[in-house]
Structure 1
Amino acid sequence: MFKNINQFTIALATASVVVVGVAGSANASPSAPANPAVTRAALDPALVAGRGASVSFLEQEAEKAATNGTVIGPDRTAYTLPAEASGRSAVKLLPGQYVEFTLPQAANAITVRYSLPDAPNGGGITAPLDVSVNGKNRKTMTLTSQFAWLYNQYPFANDPNADLLHPDWWVTECACVPAFTTPAPVFAKPFRPTHFYDEQRLLLGKTYKAGDRVRLTAPAGSNAAWTVIDLLDSELVGLPYVNLVAANVLLFGADPTGQRESSDAIDRAIAFAKRWHLEVYIPPGTYQVNRHIVVDNVTVKGAGNWYTIIKGKQVTLPAPLPDKSIHTGVGFYGKYVADGGSSNVHLSGFTIEGDVRERIDDDQVNGIGGAMSDSTIDGLYIHHTKVGLWFDGPMNNVKVTNSIIADQIGDGLNFHGGVTNSLVANNFVRNTGDDGLAMWAQPVTNSNNTFDHNTVQTPVLANGIALYGGSDLTVSSNLVADPIREGSGLHVGSRFGAEPFGGTILLKDNTTVRAGTFELNWNIGLGAIWLYALDRNIDANTQVVGNHFLDNTYNAIMLVSDWPVKDLVSISNVHFKDVRVDGTGTSVVSARVAGSASFENVDARNVGAVGINNCGSFNWPATGSEFSLTDLGGNDGGGTTGPWFGSWQLPNTITCNDRPPIVVPPAPSPW
């Protein structure tokens, strides 16, 4: 299209750039009134100071706002609307009802986290939500449940009327394998409904001041029987980023209205930018992209993730690909390692809006994928893809920062197979269908990676942050809240064929809240931190230092193996130091494995059951439990049964209660 760089520059200078601006400065921060209840992970922000992501928005829980609707919860029972809400509580609106938030600071944009009913046969519905400020300037959002509502057994179904996907699997509801049970059990449908919530963003069109009232109303004529509002995030979005000396995708035929496909135009802009050593610039607009954009040795910048939207439809492929994908969709992918991998990729300032409504593990429909060494991803908003960012190594030195990953069917981010010397920092992850952040060392080990100062909220399945094998890994200063089922806040697991743990595994200065979920397969509660030996021993130097475990549904700390391997594997060389435990439904420590751990300056309060529930490997040897706890001093506090680590507690005393009763702890408070 352009024969030289001068011709390109002249054309760019005269091209019209679509700018969808809003009034206000991103630096303005008037004093907020005292009454709005601002929280972080539904907690007083002072309780989690210095931990988790520093974000541009302020969170307000609906149950703390003014409403004529009904507060639901708190409730942590799986398959219920309150259980999947932030803080395990929300507000249910019938048509004509409202919830009203008072802005704590100036804002021109909001994010609403909500739930709508599913359609009777699945597939979701749409329904309106009216937004007004101070009773004026009404806008209408069109909410949807088309990306929510999964059912049944893994990998789940979209059909609420489906029979069991795996009738030969153990099912705790009947404590049986249905296919081998006579008579066969009858299960209520829908079976195990989950993944109820979604979120939607809205630019308000002007800047409102602190103290202004944002009212969300389910209109009287709404077709939704109910609308649940979980929370409101409000923020002051600055003006769009503009780059006049860049490969502007508009000049290569991209359509900012989203009516025409822009994939080829973006490819042309990338090729031109690489040739002339320019950045690629994607101005404000919505761009339809229905396949992967392959990136290598290029910088792609949007105008900001509120302004530049890369949005795609899921496309059914005419035949499965070699990787078994049967769909494709919007995503920015590095080249796979088999094709040489990518490097020097820099992506920032845009949204990736996918169209993934079912979990198909083989599909490559992730927001970011492939291999990207010496690369950065910054300031993205990734929504409705399968996994936000799934990296397949080996690859080295990638940094993922300042991004938001929301409403995924699978993980938020996964370092898979040989990712080294990489950093994930200051990201916000909410409502994933699997682990929020994960490192999976399979089939090649991961090493020297760090997850630092991230916030992970409401992962519906599995863990907030999970490590599956690898060497010299750090998980530091993160905030993890409200995992829903079959997982923990923090997880260290030798499973899924992962390579062994090695070097030092450091989990430092993290906070979990309302963590430790119910494990369906075992019919027991897990810990806020969960170490699980399945494929092999866990014996690397594991340091758990400075962590705070708040309002634990069951145990704060769990170390466990599975019954078939209980005499084959162990967990050892684990060291807990300077830990605070504020509230447990059951114990501080639950040991269901052979091995050992040391404890130093672990302070606990509001402990619901015996401080140490030591079952070992369930062999009950006369010599005591196969798991030993070493008291290095300073282990203070306890609960209803006395000191959690009392002087009576010998190193391997058996104190086993397989399923202790749960005592609901009080809300966390300043230490």
Structure 2
Amino acid sequence: MRRIPLLAVSALLAVAGLAPATAAAAAGEAISRATGRAPVVTRAGLDPALVAGRGAAVDFAEQEAENAATNGTVIGPDRNAYTLPSEASGRRAVRLAPGQHVEFTLPAAADALTVRYSIPDAPGGGGLTAPLEVTVNGGDRRTMTLTSQYSWLYNQYPFSNDPDADLLHPDWWITECACVPDATTPPPVVAKPFRPHHFYDEQRLLLGRAYRAGDRVRLTAPARGGAAWTVIDLMDSQLVGPPRLVPGANVVAFGADPTGRRESAEAFDRAIAFAKRARLKVYVPPGTYQVNRHIIVDDVTIAGAGSWHTVIKGRQVALPAPAPDGSVHTGVGFYGRDAADGGSRNVHLSGFAIEGDVRERVDTDQVNGVGGALSDSTIEGLHIRHTKVGMWFDGPMTNLRITGNTIVDQIADAINFHTGVTNSVIAGNVIRNTGDDAIALWSDKSADAGNRVERNTVQSPVLANGIAVYGGRDNTVSGNLVADPVREGSALHVGSRFGAEPFEGRLTISGNTTVRAGTYELNWNIGLGAIWLYALERDIAADVRATGNHFLDNTYNAIMLVSEWSVKDLYAITNVHFKDTRVDGTGTSVVSARVKGSATFENVDARNVGAVGVNNCGAFGFPPTGSEFTLTDLGGNDGGWLAPWMLPNTVTCDDRPPVVPPPPPSRW
């Protein structure tokens, strides 16, 4: 068959100004006409048409392995925690036995691949490595080295790398035995490994040349590769292009080693000091640079050749004695000065990768990719993986812009604004596989205020939430795409907890899309909502405006408002307004209310509702006047979910209604 020059097709589409996903779709149609089949390009495992204009604008094409050609086994769907498919994008993946493969058809020209995968842990923990063969069109063979050294955690928070570890907290409630082991005679036998999770990791590969749309990329688990199985979740493909050159103080000229054999931290310090005196940028050319401690930055610009070309990589190093902040390790990271010391300003980081070596969660450790306090600064185009938190900022600080970064495979959060971060922006970032909140605004001791979290894509946070706001004033969460939170969290979370300052002013949550959210809360043994408002430590009484959001394929509820049982009569959630909302599929209800208070609903349309539209338990007092939580119908609520007989505060309380898995979401 004559090959159609689809590289030219893709190039013309790019020149025409079409977005990468649109160009890939158009190229896919051309491939289909030529070959009779088309690659399936998704965004967070969804048809891109369902999330148009939401999430990060990306320069890669995402392809789920379950949609590709394979002689392996598709696993899933499964939304139960502690399983391989539950942590996969779209809740499905492909398992390869030795000798098996999965083959993707490129939807557009590409010279680089990212593969999200899982391989087994070593029997005693600590991980192993195994090869993955990559071939294009049956030739051009390369080998990726996969590892499970940065995945596979076990047990209770803050988790363990040891699959044979005993319970870390035998005085905690255990759902599996419905008991507190220390208070049980005889103590229960808890199966080991207990609660395995955090299964996946990512690897990137430059192909050395550009391949055309329609070319076939085969990933094969070698017959004698050393791994009993290999799970492939997805593959991203993209055109990276050549490295960029930035005039300035080249770190190599100051002694940095681009081969990664020698430590380069002092060379970076010298280059930064010179650049500040000479009013130059610091340039980090292509290479891999070994840096095993923090690089302190203030009033400096550091630019790499692009995150695929410039990699700054470090080992985690044990400190001889704990640091004043409690850290017992250090590692690679770019840090502003502490806020108590005045913080840093005018820092601009762009165009490089940060690769850490964090394999366990130590909450006191400062082993984050970027940290400290950075005001009047920008962070753009970084790729961060294997750190504890991608970016953690301790304010007070102001006017920081975090845009266009990729943060993956974190032990804890991806981005956290902690303590008095104001007038700052988190926009256009891609985040996958965090071990805690992907993005958090935490108003601890001082309010985060005037911040905007916009157009980010968050996928598969293993624990906790996609985007969480803990207190603060006049913050905005808009235009984001959040998919596949796994347990004990939601896609979008509004929480009065963790000692946060109260919510004040207006919290705007607008134009976001969530999918396959509304997860299981392990400790409460109930399902949450895709958006979850939680009054644990004080009332939530600020003006909360949730407008234009789409909640798709919710495992349990779309919307949940709740207080913890021990404070159910103390705190309320009021002044919450839902408007112009679409709910497509719930395992249980559209709204679950388990708190005192009220909310209004206007133009909230719902379909494919698994249980009663409103599960209104209020504060579980069940007074004769009705529920302690009132739903106000402002009109236009379609789908029959907000039936008149449920208003204004009729009790419709079913503590654990049956779950009806919804159909896949479709165009409205």
Scaled by the length of structure 2, the TM-score of the pair is: 0.95
**SS of the counterpart of 2:644?**
coil
Q: Deviations over 1:151-197 (max 9, x none)?
A: 00000000000000000011111111100101111111000000000
1:561-640 matches, within 5 Å, as: 561-637=563-639
Are 2:538 and 1:536 aligned?
Answer: yes
**SS of the counterpart of 1:164?**
coil
- 1:179 paired residue among 179, 182, 185: 182
Matched residue, 1:372: 374
Are 2:653 and 1:666 aligned?
Answer: no
Matched residue, 2:215: 212
Q: Post-superposition shift, 1:312?
A: 0.2
Are 2:418 and 1:421 aligned?
Answer: no
Are 2:351 and 1:349 aligned?
Answer: yes
- 2:123 paired residue among 104, 120, 124: 120
Check the 8 A contact 1:494/1:535 in 2, yes or no. Answer: yes
Q: Deviations over 1:120-142 (max 9, x none)?
A: 11000100000000000100000
Matched residue, 2:645: 648
**SS of the counterpart of 1:411?**
coil
**SS of the counterpart of 2:167?**
coil
Q: Post-superposition shift, 1:620?
A: 1.1
Q: Deviations over 1:458-505 (max 9, x none)?
A: 000000000000000000000000000000000000000000000000
Identity of aligned residues (%): 73
Q: Deviations over 1:628-654 (max 9, x none)?
A: 0000001110xxxxx211121121100
- 2:449 paired residue among 433, 447, 450: 447
1:472-487 matches, within 5 Å, as: 472-487=474-489
Quote the RMSD (CA, aligned, Å). 1.1
Q: Deviations over 1:374-412 (max 9, x none)?
A: 000000000100000000000000000000000000001
Check the 8 A contact 2:282/2:302 in 1, yes or no. Answer: yes
Q: Post-superposition shift, 1:516?
A: 1.1
**SS of the counterpart of 1:222?**
coil
Letter of the structure 2 residue corresponding to residue 369 of structure 1:
G
Matched residue, 1:15: none
Question: Quick one: distance in 2 between partners of 1:349 and 1:150?
Answer: 31
Q: Deviations over 1:4-46 (max 9, x none)?
A: xxxxxxxxxxxxxxxxxxxx99968783423000000101000
Check the 8 A contact 1:302/1:350 in 2, yes or no. Answer: yes
Q: Deviations over 1:307-359 (max 9, x none)?
A: 00000000000000011100000000000012221000000000000000000
Question: Quick one: distance in 1 between partners of 2:636 and 2:124?
Answer: 57
Letter of the structure 2 residue corresponding to residue 669 of structure 1:
S
**SS of the counterpart of 1:75?**
coil
Matched residue, 1:436: 438
Matched residue, 1:103: 106
Are 2:311 and 1:314 aligned?
Answer: no
1:11-50 matches, within 5 Å, as: 31-32=27-28, 33-34=31-32, 35-50=38-53
Matched residue, 2:473: 471
- 1:84 paired residue among 81, 84, 87: 87
- 1:150 paired residue among 153, 164, 169: 153
Check the 8 A contact 1:25/1:239 in 2, yes or no. Answer: no
Question: Quick one: distance in 1 between partners of 2:409 and 2:550?
Answer: 27
**SS of the counterpart of 2:474?**
strand
- Number of residues of Structure 1 aligned to a counterpart in Structure 2: 642
Question: Quick one: distance in 2 between partners of 1:340 and 1:595?
Answer: 42
1:155-174 matches, within 5 Å, as: 155-174=158-177
- 1:221 paired residue among 224, 230, 233: 224
Are 2:559 and 1:557 aligned?
Answer: yes
Check the 8 A contact 2:308/2:353 in 1, yes or no. Answer: yes
Q: Post-superposition shift, 1:511?
A: 0.1
Check the 8 A contact 2:646/2:652 in 1, yes or no. Answer: no
**SS of the counterpart of 1:264?**
helix
**SS of the counterpart of 1:274?**
helix
Q: Deviations over 1:257-286 (max 9, x none)?
A: 000000000000000000000000000000
Check the 8 A contact 1:378/1:402 in 2, yes or no. Answer: yes
Are 2:195 and 1:198 aligned?
Answer: no
Matched residue, 1:509: 511
Letter of the structure 2 residue corresponding to residue 578 of structure 1:
D
Check the 8 A contact 1:462/1:486 in 2, yes or no. Answer: yes
Check the 8 A contact 2:118/2:200 in 1, yes or no. Answer: yes
**SS of the counterpart of 2:275?**
helix
1:129-140 matches, within 5 Å, as: 129-140=132-143
Q: Could you list the runs of 5+ residues in structure 1 that have no partner in the other structure?
A: 1-23, 638-642
Letter of the structure 2 residue corresponding to residue 431 of structure 1:
N
Q: Post-superposition shift, 1:619?
A: 1.0
Check the 8 A contact 1:25/1:238 in 2, yes or no. Answer: no
Question: Quick one: distance in 2 between partners of 1:604 and 1:658?
Answer: 21
Question: Quick one: distance in 2 between partners of 1:303 and 1:132?
Answer: 27
Q: Could you list the runs of 5+ residues in structure 2 that have no partner in the other structure?
A: 1-9, 16-22, 33-37
Question: Quick one: distance in 2 between partners of 1:114 and 1:179?
Answer: 38
Question: Quick one: distance in 1 between partners of 2:337 and 2:325?
Answer: 14
- 1:71 paired residue among 65, 71, 74: 74
Letter of the structure 1 residue corresponding to residue 190 of structure 2:
F
**SS of the counterpart of 1:648?**
helix
Check the 8 A contact 2:89/2:234 in 1, yes or no. Answer: yes
Q: Deviations over 1:611-633 (max 9, x none)?
A: 00000001111111000000000
